[in-house]
């Protein structure tokens, strides 16, 4: 049976980036059926309500094999809805937010070549968004950490390390201060590690690893960095800078029965419609989704094509030192994909 993917084009630069991803996927000859649906701040500003995702989109998601989400804007302020990504992660228990971090050939590596994977727990922590105003002066946020979710994300991290042939998992925490929440997270990581005797555990405090990633990032090569929701949100952004552009960072949100794929960057509304931004993160997130849906050969061809285009340097966007437009770079990746698959 044909696999289906719900596609949310998003806000800001989202629509033009998703169009680029679809163009490359079509060049690869995908058999996946893409179903377009609405979500994001643009839709919400027109229709209102307590969600950035309309009911019709939830129905499409419920009947799809996967989701692709372009960058979406999340409104700020008291009373505004939670983000599209958080809503989908929580609805479908997409507990593993995964960002591979790897230097591309002939691209800027400000602190040297790196290769690691960031694994972030995606369903709890401070991202549950539960805040309480105790007095006019005092507000508190609840950081929910469960042993169940900590164990699940730890096992995912060790399996990811095993699959990639990496030699260590690096749990990032602050258990000397947050003794219950970080403490229970770290205990569950240690328990799971007993099933993986060939993979080391390197615990790091959040503040220390933030420094070490700048001082000597290569010590984390061939490692899986693992942490709770907010800590890894921050650390994975820092890791993104190590490859020179967040426009290169693709990501997935993976659960036991469903997955959502997206570029790691935001909607960059100031660049909307300018045909300017780097399409690689979006294109490769789409390629990863094809792999997830059973089209491994086509996915690998897109990855190889993107690496070729970046390495060659003729059709790259401004953030990679070139002058190509978004559409020109995407066209070249599509052309190289077709060439590889011939």
Domain assignments of the chain as residue spans, ordered by start: 1-104+245-341, 109-243
Sequence-distant (6+) residues with CB within 8 A of 55 are none
Confidence of residue 54 (pLDDT cuts 50, 70, 90): very high
Interatomic CA distance for residues 181 and 204, integer angstroms: 15
CATH superfamily of 109-243: Isopropylmalate Dehydrogenase (3.40.718.10)
What is residue 337's predicted lDDT score, i.e. its pLDDT?
98
Q: Summarize the confidence of residues 212-216 as an average pLDDT.
A: 96
What is residue 77's predicted lDDT score, i.e. its pLDDT?
81
Sequence-distant (6+) residues with CB within 8 A of 197 are none
What is residue 107's predicted lDDT score, i.e. its pLDDT?
84
Confidence of residue 94 (pLDDT cuts 50, 70, 90): very high
- The helix/strand/coil state of 97 is strand
Q: Summarize the confidence of residues 64-78 as an average pLDDT.
A: 93
Confidence of residue 297 (pLDDT cuts 50, 70, 90): very high
CATH of 1-104+245-341 among 3.30.420.40, 3.90.550.10, 3.40.718.10, 3.40.50.2000: 3.40.718.10
What is residue 80's predicted lDDT score, i.e. its pLDDT?
83
Helix (H), strand (E) counts: the chain: 11, 13
Confidence of residue 92 (pLDDT cuts 50, 70, 90): very high
- Residue 32 in this model has a pLDDT that exceeds 90: yes
Quick check: 329 and 317 in contact, CB under 8 A?
A: yes
Helix or strand holding residue 96 (H, E):
strand 96-102
**How confident is the model over 135-172, as pLDDT tens digits?**
999 999 999 999 999 999 999 999 999 999 999 999 99
Quick check: 74 and 44 in contact, CB under 8 A?
A: no
For all residues of the chain together, what is the average pLDDT? Answer: 96
The model's pTM = 0.93
- Residue 79 in this model has a pLDDT that exceeds 80: no
- Residue 262 in this model has a pLDDT that exceeds 80: yes
What is residue 245's predicted lDDT score, i.e. its pLDDT?
86
């Amino acid at each position: 049976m044909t696999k289906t993917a719900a596609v949310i084009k998003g806000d800001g630069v989202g629509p033009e980036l998703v169009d680029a991803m679809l163009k490359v996927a079509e060049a690869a000859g995908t058999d996946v059926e893409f179903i377009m649906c609405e979500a994001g701040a643009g839709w919400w500003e027109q229709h209102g309500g307590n969600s950035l995702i309309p009911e019709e989109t939830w129905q499409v998601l419920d009947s799809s094999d996967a989701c692709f989400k372009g960058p979406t804007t999340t409104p700020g302020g008291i009373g505004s809805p939670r983000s599209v990504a958080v809503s989908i992660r929580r609805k479908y228990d997409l507990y593993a937010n995964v960002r591979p971090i790897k230097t591309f050939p002939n691209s800027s590596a400000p602190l040297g070549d790196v290769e690691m994977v960031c694994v972030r727990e995606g369903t709890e922590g401070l991202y549950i968004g539960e805040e309480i105003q105790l007095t006019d002066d005092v507000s508190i946020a609840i950081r929910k950490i469960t042993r169940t979710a900590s164990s699940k994300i730890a096992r995912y991290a060790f399996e990811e390390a095993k699959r990639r042939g990496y030699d260590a998992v690096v749990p990032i925490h602050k258990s000397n201060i947050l003794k219950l929440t970080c403490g229970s997270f770290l205990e569950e990581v240690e328990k799971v590690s007993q099933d993986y005797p060939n993979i080391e555990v390197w615990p790091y405090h959040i503040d220390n690893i933030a420094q070490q990633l700048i001082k000597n990032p290569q010590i984390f090569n061939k490692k899986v960095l693992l942490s709770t929701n907010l800590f890894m949100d921050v650390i994975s952004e820092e890791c993104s800078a190590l490859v020179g552009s967040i426009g290169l960072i693709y990501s997935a949100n993976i659960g036991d029965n469903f997955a959502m794929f997206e570029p790691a960057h935001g909607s960059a509304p100031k660049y909307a419609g300018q045909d300017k931004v780097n399409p690689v993160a979006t294109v490769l997130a789409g390629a990863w989704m094809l792999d997830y849906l059973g089209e491994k050969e086509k996915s690998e061809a897109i990855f190889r094509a993107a690496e070729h285009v970046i390495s060659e340097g003729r059709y790259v966007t401004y953030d990679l030192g070139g002058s190509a437009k978004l559409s020109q770079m995407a066209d070249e990746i599509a052309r190289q994909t077709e060439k590889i698959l011939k």
